[in-house]
Structure 1
C-alpha cells in the first residue's frame, strides 16, 4: 500500500473539513494510506545525510506521495528532491500562486490574456500607472477573490497601497464583461467540466463570495486553449479561469492550484474528490483503478 501525506494549512482546513474527509475515505478505497497533516506542523531541512522532513518533531520516513494543498512551492520542491511524487507538482504550485508568474507563462504560449502590469510601490510612481481608471489591482499571491480591488481614482489607489503594504501588485484592465468568468476544472490533465460564474452585485464572480453558477459547455476553440496550457504545464488538479470578451472569446485570467469544487458538488455534476484520488492512485501504479 502506498503511503502519502495530505497537507493543508490550518486556516484552509476550517472550510474544507468535509472535503478532506472525502479525500481520506476515497484513499482507503483505492489502497492508499493517507496521513493528514497541517503545513504548520511540518519542518524541512538538510543535514549531512541530505534532505529531511519532520512532523511535530518526528522524522517522516517511507513517504511515497504528497497531496500538497498548502500553496507552498518550496515544500513541493523539497519533497520532489526527496523523490516523493507531489500532486500538484512544484512547477504548477510555483506558477499558479503568483499571478505575475502565471501571466508571464500564459503570455509565452500566445494565449490571449488580460492586459496586465506588474507594479512595485517602492520604486514606481502610482500617478504613472499604465491604465486609465477604473482598473483592477490584485495582490499577486491572493486567492479566492481576496485582496482584489477595483480602483476608480488615484486617492483610492493610494488608500489601498497604504492599507496593504505588499511589495508588489498586479494591475489589470477591466474586461468588457465585468462580474463574469468561466472556470475550467482539470484532473489528471483532462477537462472534467466547466462552470460559468457571474455576479450582479460584485465585479468578482467567485462562488465563495456569493456569485451565481451554472454549468458551461465549452466550445472546441475554448478546449484548445486549455489543452495548450496543459501541454506545456502538466496538471494533476487545477482550475483555469477565463474572462469572456465582447465577442464571446476566452481571455485568460488566473490559474488555481488549490482549486475548490463546491460549485461542482452544488450542481451535482462531478465528484472531484473521487476523480482526484483515482488519478493519484493510477499515477502511483495502482492497477485496480
Structure 2
C-alpha cells in the first residue's frame, strides 16, 4: 500500500535544522515507496465543530493523511489528528510527556528506572523565591552543587548549575512562575553523556557527547560527539525508558553515575538525527520509516 503522510514542523521555527530533519524523513520515505508532504503547523487549519470537526491543509483541503510524523511539539494538533483517526508518530501523549521534564521523571520513577535524585518544585503564582525553610530542606537533601532545571526547554539552555544559596535563591526568582525541579549534580558525568537513538524495541545507534568547557554535554553548547558502542545494559535501559513515556522512537540521554551505573537524564521525542548520522553513519530516518510502515500495516 502506498501510504501518504504529513511531516509536521513548527511554522515559527522553520529553520534549516528542522527543514533538514524533515528532508531526511522525506528522502527515506521515497526509498520505501511512501509519499510525504512537509507542512508547517500553521499550514493546517483545525476546526472544532459539534457536527463535524475538520483538520485540513493548504496542500489538500479535503483528505487526511494515513499518518503524521511530528518534528514539533504542537500537542493540540497531534491530539486532534488522533481523534480523527490519523496515526501520529510520536503520539500526542508521548510528545507531551517528553516535552515536560517533570512529567518525564515521574513516569521514569513510576517504572523504577534509574534517575538522579529529584525534587519537584512547588507551583508558584509569583516571581519571589521560595521560603527559607523550604530552600534549606532542598540543600539538606541535595547539597551543593545542585541542578535547577526548568520543566520546559531545549538544548540545555534552561539547566542551571548552582553552587551556593545565593545562586539558588536568585535562580528561583528568575524562573518566576515557570515549573521547575531540583536535582542532585552528577559529578562523574560533568560535560559528558550518552545519546542513544531508540526505534521501536531496538537501540540503533549511540554517541558519547563530551564538553570540556561546560557541565552540559549538549553539542549546541560546544560539545563534541564520538561513536559509542551499545551493550545490552544500555539498550535495555534506553528502550525501557522510551516505552515508559509511550513513544515510538526517541533520543535517550544517559549520565555516567557512580559505580558504573547509568542514569536517565532526559528523553527527547523530537531528537534531531543529522549529527547522529554524520558521527555514526547510521541514518535513523530509514529505520523510522521502516518502523512506521510496519506499524501502519498491522
TM-score (norm 1): 0.89
SS of aligned partner of 1:34:
strand
Alignment of 1:15-164 (within 5 A): 15-56=17-58, 59-119=61-121, 120-122=123-125, 125=130, 127=132, 128-129=134-135, 130=138, 131-164=142-175
For 1:39-74, what per-residue CA distance to the aligned partner results, in whole angstroms no more than 9, with x for missing partners? 233332321333321335974523211001112222
Gaps (5+ residues) in structure 2? none
Gaps (5+ residues) in structure 1? none
- d(CA) in 2 for partners of 1:231 and 1:70? 20
Distance 1:38 1:87, change over 3 A: same
Deviation at 1:84, TM superposition (A): 0.2
Bigger drift between 119-128 and 8-17 goes to 119-128
For 1:7-63, what per-residue CA distance to the aligned partner results, in whole angstroms no more than 9, with x for missing partners? 111315432322322222222222222111112333323213333213359745232
Contact 1:52 1:59 in 2 (8 A): no
Contact 2:213 2:222 in 1 (8 A): no
User: RMSD over aligned Cα, in angstroms?
Assistant: 2.4
For 1:230-263, what per-residue CA distance to the aligned partner results, in whole angstroms no more than 9, with x for missing partners? 4545532201111111211111111101001233
Counterpart selection for 1:257 from 250, 255, 269: 269
Counterpart selection for 1:207 from 219, 231, 254: 219
The residue aligned with 1:4 is: 5
Distance 1:50 1:29, change over 3 A: same
- d(CA) in 1 for partners of 2:244 and 2:161? 32
- d(CA) in 2 for partners of 1:126 and 1:244? 33
Instruction: Find out whether 1:221 has 2:233 as its counterpart.
Output: yes
Higher helix share: 2
The residue aligned with 2:283 is: 271
Alignment of 1:241-252 (within 5 A): 241-252=253-264
Give the number of aligned pairs: 286
For 1:139-165, what per-residue CA distance to the aligned partner results, in whole angstroms no more than 9, with x for missing partners? 211122121111223333344344443
TM-score (norm 2): 0.87
